[in-house]
Structure 1
């Protein structure tokens, strides 16, 4: 029989090739000594060592062949060294050598047979799925089969001679009791925990058997181990499921019951306690149970339906009033389903009684609730509109009829809505109706209505798609009259625009010195260039080129003064916002020019960093300049009380992400305290005694109206950082 090479792993042998080389060398030496040396001793007996060396390789065939070769060498050496006469002492020594070789070979072959049987037994032990381990009374491992390698992850060559309980970190229920039982009974069965080589803990079902010698002294322990981790996990999961099922049955808000195939009732959960019915395993007669609980007026119908269900095996369902132990009756919805076996016979019934007392009361209050709903819709100016698909049948509430200006007896329809829709919004409403027909999940639209008296209403309609039990889809929505809200919003917008204008005018008053300085520079340049041009013309030979150059400089200075005056006039002008595509870096540069003199007066050192290429934004130039000037002036005023160090301000632009530009204004002032951080952009909040507290609030309104966000931070190194983001645009530069 041939075995896999792995079978011999635990029967250790020296290297066969090395043994054979050594045996050949020794055989050559013995042959040489026996043939050529004048020794009168049985040198050929040393061939026994050669046979033993080959036998150690484990090959039966090689051992026998070696024995024959050694015998042949003995005879050859005897014939060569004693050619004249083989008889006498030489013949005796040769015979003794041959006998020694034969006996040694026989013993070696028998030993190999025993080893082969041992290997076969080891192979059989390796074939089992169990982990088989043999260890001595000092817990040192003497045998470790392949099942143990797979279970614990340790190869045999690493496990042998190791203390098993240290190697596997064994955790007994009680190690002393286990050892005592093993010594007393010779066996022990139980469960224990061990740790694999990879660190995973496994549960083991272990069977131990004690091996004693002929004197009864304990010699070794044979352990047969099985991995029961999965079984334990399944048992724990099963127990958890059972506990969960029990808890779920107790938590269900209903009286759960079971019955035998003939209808005998068995209460299951604690909900029966309120009806003074004990939960026992003994079935209770169905007639006595129902008669104790059911209202007399409901009993005949319920009993008849129950008997019919038991007889036919059909589902049972009914309603009745049941009496609690306090004597009060409550409405119950009673339903049950049969459980059939494989032959179609009813094995058990399972049912639940659900308290519907509240539902009965709700049904009684439904009409009153509908009246309240109608009144609430009237007060909130919100009507309900429902539309069924795909036929488009509509249902309007009373308030929806009033909002749309139709009598209550008018049949609702999409054509009536379109008839009231403002001509400019008809396309929008039709688009929404197409979304409805396409079964869009959500509709949200604001549009205008033109009433018969030519007045205009603003309405907001929202609806969502829902599926009914019939399988049909239906839109349920609300139509809100938001006319007053729109009017209030427009008034608020106008107020904010006027307030922003007042703030800009006030700010221009504060920047008078800076504006005068900015305007005086180009005017002084105009005067200087004019005088220079006159001097060039008054020369005996007028220098027209120099005069032209001076006049060109005067024109450029005049244009610069005109631009400054235009920007100041734009900020002072009272008008609505005008949106255009603007260069953000240029916008920041223009704003800084208007406050540069103020910054110099405050001894503020300004550092500017622009991102390239400059982001393009869509906004109102005047409003955004107002934001920038306000943030810069706030930073300068925050540094007014700073002494002993430089007053520095940083203004930078960058890209927050691919869709938003980022403007940062940072100062080295006193910073923002934690209690003021959340109130900084609220109206009428200020930290300055002379401040009004509306500047930053207006800045937030302007930035948010442009689709951006503004916030403030106080970095650890001091000062304050006020920054805002604006969406970038790829449009042209025409005003919109």
Structure 2
């Protein structure tokens, strides 16, 4: 009780106040007002800060902030301005007061003048404060209890009032201090508070030292520590005996008023509700006129237990049991039940009752009021029905079940009425030869069956039945009395036979305003829908529309998913989505089949890595890294290694899109191309054999041409040399003849050189094409072109390309020919390697001279260190089938680009071939238009490059 508490604070012999959790003062006692000269209004909120010494204000505000954050306050010394202008030092002590939820509700504080105390520290002064004297000064009975409910301390007022020693007070439940009629309720309430920590609040009678009992309002609040644990209970007992006597006088006055039946009836009849009273045993003694008007019963018929005839049979037993329980306990209560109106209709009412007690506390009578809650109950039923229907829709229940529940809800909400939902048959309506719609009954739990059969698939005429008329016209058909209707003669006859007296048919439309069905109501009495019923009907129609559209959308989605799954199975193509932010992957069923993984397994990148062939893992990770960094579409063809050892070839295409939240997501398709790759490999082998035969034939032709062209000059050289020897060996030597034969030898040598020069000219028919070339991209294109061949040969390529690699200027095709030649040479050097995996590392970087460098490192057989330069000589080879011109041509191409090509032996197995080209060099000068070797190789010569070094 706030007023009682304020009076208690006002009586404290010191400056006391109460404040909100943030430190805003709510109440100050008279000591504060006398000391500061400020009124209650001037001190409220933060007005009290004007009394604080300016040097202490910031410290004081920080003190409140800390106390609010921690939930308790320490002692603090501050200076307060007295009304005469002098400052005195005060010790501030504040305690937190919590509400029923354990939250900080307010502060109660006390300022203690310490200027008059002996000179010692504030902490020592606060330690010696006598708490007992403070609580003894409170003009009310205050007690402190332990957390488990035992009495810990009482103030002087309790000792003076009860007159018992402390040990006797500790046994309060047996000492007789509490009235015997109140002891059970007090014990139960106190036990409940101890167990739950909820505040204790009760009215009871306490015996005074002279044996007289007075009524007290007792309130106990828990005191909690920083861990929200109860450390003690503070119990305040306020004498309310005078108030109780006043209440008894009021009750007595009311009983005197009730003695005059006419006067009481005039008063009670003015109340907007059903008011009644009953004797202590529950027998009704009075009902007001509004009760009689509603039920059609007289007051005499309603007295005693006559009123129970109006209770709905389904609610009668529960209401009786509840009423008997209230009579036994003597407590107030409320119950919901349906009461019959004079016309036979039932409406829901909230029945409330409270006991009226006499001076001794016994129930003298019962007073009650019945409030009409039919509208609220209808709203609750409608909300519950909508929740059930939406739950069924979300769970994917059949449309017939959903609409059946809708019909049951309609029949509950609309009295004495059947309901039916007919749905437009889209397929039959579309294929129908006539011009109208086709309806089929989807739900009719309690509607007359004869009417439904007449309305089903009976053509499109509006004259067939009202259901068809509503569907065709796309407009409500409302007939309040079928006996006065002339349309639908056959249907109307059946309806009247079935007890139907009215028809309300309303079209169900989609969001596109197309008719999807009809909701039909069959009242069993002539009726027109009321405004409230029209609102309900509109809601029911909307729910039916949602259910039908959801069912059709689900059916279309299922059909689409079935088509997609079949198409994926036929094309051996699976799909998956990959969210880059969280690496979430969602796969289609066909994707699970391709990976040969159970659909219950959650797909992850680790799972994909487990399925990727070990030799392709590095290139696959590199592809994903490149796709993740700039975020762009990509395409890749890795191999999959199944648990049984089977190898699958797949083609992956991924398209990047942002999702609804703006996060990047790849939509990818994976096609199993194993059969195609096997066929391609078979075809490639056949083509390779044909190409080999063509190269052999071509080389034979070239060899024959060289032999034919060079044979004559060589024969002349031999003949002239022999003649020269004979002439020099003659006696005397024929010097002049020998000189002439030597000249002819030189001539024939030049002829042979010209033949060779003409043959080399076949390889140089055009100049290089200068452009900016990204060696990273050029190398990736070459790798993509030969990746399949490398996989067939068991070679695993590991690209390691430098980021932001500068471009070079040159002929892209020729540089790719060099890269291709180095990769093929490295692969061939590993053909005979079987004791270790075949690995090839391709790297790009910018070297110390700021040139762009590309290196191909293998772990094959390598070469002798002394052959490191001869490898680049024309026609020098270390292979049985090589021609020895590939590296020579490659070096020529690199040198034409002002670069350098060289080879080195690895510290481990294998060798490294690499070249470097200056970055950004201008090659537009005429000097760069000189022909390069191997510029226009014919097809046989291009195939021959695979046999180069």
**TM-score, normalised via structure 2 length:** 0.24
Q: Counting helix residues as a fraction of each chain, which structure ranks higher?
A: 1
**TM-score, normalised via structure 1 length:** 0.30
